[in-house]
Structure 1
Amino acid sequence: MPKAPTVDDVARVAGVSRQTVSNVVNSPAIVREATRERVERAIAELGYRPHAAARQLRTRRSSTIGVHLDPYAGGISGVVLDRFVHALTERATDRGMRLLVFAARTPGQEIERMADLLDGGEVDAVVITGTFHGDPRTGWLSARGVPFVAFGRPWGVDDVADPAHLWVDVDGAAGTRAATTHALQTAGRDVAFLGWPEGSGTGDDRERGWREAMADAGATGIRISAENNVGAARAAVGDALSAAPAVSAIVAASDALAIGAQLAAGAVGYADLPVYGFDNTPAAEALGISSVEQLPERVAAGVLELLMGPTGNVVAPREAAAGTAHVLVEPQLIVRGHSGAG
């Protein structure tokens, strides 16, 4: 096995001192930009990875990022967050960082757990998921001056031009817009949307993509509402199809809703009705349902870029300035089965 590159190797390739390499890794802000970039290129070229334990002794940092793990609730769509945490762990390891996963059942409990971890010096930064209107976690972290990034936007008046904090999110409207456009082109103009009850930031964003695509095409369609489970979706779609059988396709806000829609369509004699989900879970793939792939691996990369920059340790909390405070990942429509796949 080849010998792992050392600080001395990086210093030699970059033409700098060993201390300069250490500064770039541990305190990049104090190094001149041109020098820092030269060292970063050498780090990337050699594949150098700082030793986390040694760095902790030198810097009094834990080299650890805390991330909350949602309670297991069964269902279909939780696999997306599982993939995100897995990808975040892999990419943090590549950057010489570790992940500490913790559990909490409510936002209040999550704040208490974060306080314990931060007070004990167990984590340097935090990643939160599942943001929502009036989220108390983001205000608490900002007030305390903790470096953090959210998987989920602030859901403010203008999250892009006037962001409340650093965030990475999937462009839900772009995903449902792509699904609706495909349905309009291949199935007809009566495309329905199956979403969650109004008031969910994520759900409303996904509905917006459907509305925009329908408006652009000069088309109209019904809006069906159901809680995010297969049974509720099946009942709601069954009722809707009985009252409005002219529906040509259904775009759903999640794969759980899409599976319920497909079951309902089959039960009332519309087995060939195209249905589009969101999350691209193994369940949707197994059933041949077209779905929007969120690309959580890209979300994980974006989180670490905002949290750490191109290299080094966690950066100090910084102002969430417009244009540099967010990464919006465009999802990919995966077309299958009777939704038009070849």
Structure 2
Amino acid sequence: MGKSPTVEDVARAAGVSRQTVSNVINTPEIVREATRDRVHAAITQLGYAPSMAARRLRTQRSATIGIHLDPYAGGISGSVLDRFIHALTDRATPRGLRILVYAASDAEEELRRIRLLREGGEIDRIVLTGTYAGDPRADWLAEHDIPFVAFGRPWGEPGAGAEMGNPGRAWVDVDGAAGTRAATTHALAEGARVAFLGWPAGSGTGDDRERGWREAMGLRPDEPNELRWTAVDSVSAARAAAERALAERDVDAVVCASDTLAVGAHLAASHGLHPDLLVVGFDNTPVAEALGLSSVEQRPERVAEAVLDLLVADGESHLGAWHRLIEPELVVRARDQLS
């Protein structure tokens, strides 16, 4: 059996010093991104795994991140969180960190679960998912001095910058407005009448994605518009809403807040009088790919990397912003690719 790779082996392969490898593993925020990428590539290539047992003894911490696993609800867009958890696990290992997944039916049960795991020494930090306005979890974690990073903005009360929340609280999110702005700009090439099919108002994420459409269309934030359509996040509801709207008005394209809504709009158009209607989704799921729909890719792998960067900084020597907005990417697919 071959000898396990060492820190020195990683340093040699990456062309850096042993201390730089140690910094990438323990305090990556002080290392340049290009250098971090080289070291991570060498770690992956060599299969190097830091001694987590030694690290736990040295720091008196479990080096384990807890993350809530949402109940299985099926649907189309749930794969984004699955990809994020997979990416988080994959990228935590080279840093000497582990992921512990726990289940809870609501915020109250989740906080009880976190308390028991923390008291048992099983976790020492948390990744929050599914943030929402009035979310009690962030305040509770801060009060109990448990380091955490949220995947998703706090979505505070309406107002300028309120969605950014407490400047001392760490979060990473996808810039939804940038995604729908790019999608709308692309759709405007098909014509001036680009509709937006989104969720009911009041969802921080949904309102943010609507904002990108409004900005690209030159509409004021609260200006009523007949091209703003609404449906809950289900294919059947989206199809019904799109069928009603398409029967009443002619449009050139529809930008949607999710791939679920996009599939509904696609079905309404292809089985009605608009078979050539351009429909753009959000989430870039396998379903969107299979149907040949353009969609906004959230890049959950980049989100996971940013979350880990903030988690290991731990509030002590962090040199960058506590809030990270990840730029999504519009994936354009030719509408005739399946023909």
TM norm structure 1: 0.83
Q: In the TM superposition, what is the alpha-carbon distance from 1:135 to its structure 2 partner?
A: 0.7
Task: Pick the aligned partner of 1:215 from 218, 226, 245.
Answer: 218
Could you tell me how far apart the structure 1 residues matched to 2:252 and 2:213 are?
14
Q: In the TM superposition, what is the alpha-carbon distance from 1:124 to its structure 2 partner?
A: 1.2
Question: Is the Cα contact below 8 Å between 1:177 and 1:210 reproduced in 2?
Answer: yes
Residues 113 and 247 of structure 1: is their aligned pair in 2 closer, same or farther, counting only changes over 3 Å?
Answer: same
Residues 292 and 43 of structure 1: is their aligned pair in 2 closer, same or farther, counting only changes over 3 Å?
Answer: closer
Residues 340 and 251 of structure 1: is their aligned pair in 2 closer, same or farther, counting only changes over 3 Å?
Answer: farther
Partner residue, 1:324: 321
Question: Is the Cα contact below 8 Å between 1:193 and 1:221 reproduced in 2?
Answer: no
Task: Pick the aligned partner of 1:278 from 265, 275, 282.
Answer: 282
Could you tell me how far apart the structure 2 residues matched to 1:45 and 1:262 are?
40
Which has the larger displacement, 201-210 or 220-229? Answer: 220-229
Q: In the TM superposition, what is the alpha-carbon distance from 1:108 to its structure 2 partner?
A: 1.2
Q: In the TM superposition, what is the alpha-carbon distance from 1:46 to its structure 2 partner?
A: 7.0
Letter paired with 2:283: D
Residues 14 and 247 of structure 1: is their aligned pair in 2 closer, same or farther, counting only changes over 3 Å?
Answer: closer
Question: How do 1:292-303 residues align onto structure 2 when only pairs under 5 Å count?
Answer: 292-303=296-307
Question: Is the Cα contact below 8 Å between 1:145 and 1:317 reproduced in 2?
Answer: no
Task: Encode CA deviations 1:249-285: one digit per residue, 9 max, x unaligned.
Answer: 1000000000000111123211110000000000010
Q: In the TM superposition, what is the alpha-carbon distance from 1:145 to its structure 2 partner?
A: 1.2
Which has the larger displacement, 86-95 or 160-169? Answer: 160-169
Partner residue, 2:98: 98
Residues 276 and 146 of structure 1: is their aligned pair in 2 closer, same or farther, counting only changes over 3 Å?
Answer: same
Could you tell me how far apart the structure 2 residues matched to 1:334 and 1:45 are?
26
- Which secondary structure does the structure 1 equivalent of 2:281 belong to? strand
Letter paired with 1:136: P
Partner residue, 1:188: 191
Task: Encode CA deviations 1:38-75: one digit per residue, 9 max, x unaligned.
Answer: xx999779746421123223332111100111100010
Question: Is the Cα contact below 8 Å between 2:11 and 2:39 reproduced in 1?
Answer: no
Q: In the TM superposition, what is the alpha-carbon distance from 1:221 to its structure 2 partner?
A: 5.7
RMSD: 3.4
- Which secondary structure does the structure 2 equivalent of 1:338 belong to? coil
Residues 171 and 339 of structure 1: is their aligned pair in 2 closer, same or farther, counting only changes over 3 Å?
Answer: farther
Partner residue, 2:222: none
Letter paired with 1:263: L
Letter paired with 2:58: R
Partner residue, 1:240: 245
Question: Is the Cα contact below 8 Å between 2:125 and 2:146 reproduced in 1?
Answer: yes
Partner residue, 1:266: 270
Partner residue, 2:73: 73
- Which secondary structure does the structure 2 equivalent of 1:237 belong to? helix
Partner residue, 1:311: none
Residues 285 and 11 of structure 1: is their aligned pair in 2 closer, same or farther, counting only changes over 3 Å?
Answer: closer
Q: How many residues align?
A: 320
Partner residue, 1:60: 60
Could you tell me how far apart the structure 2 residues matched to 1:259 and 1:41 are?
37
Task: Encode CA deviations 1:300-328: one digit per residue, 9 max, x unaligned.
Answer: 000001111xxxxxx4446999x611111
Partner residue, 1:312: none
Unaligned 5+ segments in structure 2 are 220-224
Partner residue, 2:138: 138
Partner residue, 1:37: none
Q: In the TM superposition, what is the alpha-carbon distance from 1:5 to its structure 2 partner?
A: 4.1
Question: How do 1:224-235 residues align onto structure 2 when only pairs under 5 Å count?
Answer: 224-235=229-240
Could you tell me how far apart the structure 1 residues matched to 2:318 and 2:226 are?
38
Could you tell me how far apart the structure 2 residues matched to 1:325 and 1:269 are?
49
Letter paired with 2:229: I
- Which secondary structure does the structure 2 equivalent of 1:77 belong to? coil
Could you tell me how far apart the structure 1 residues matched to 2:236 and 2:106 are?
25
Letter paired with 1:111: L
Letter paired with 2:208: D
Question: Is the Cα contact below 8 Å between 1:193 and 1:252 reproduced in 2?
Answer: yes
Letter paired with 1:208: R
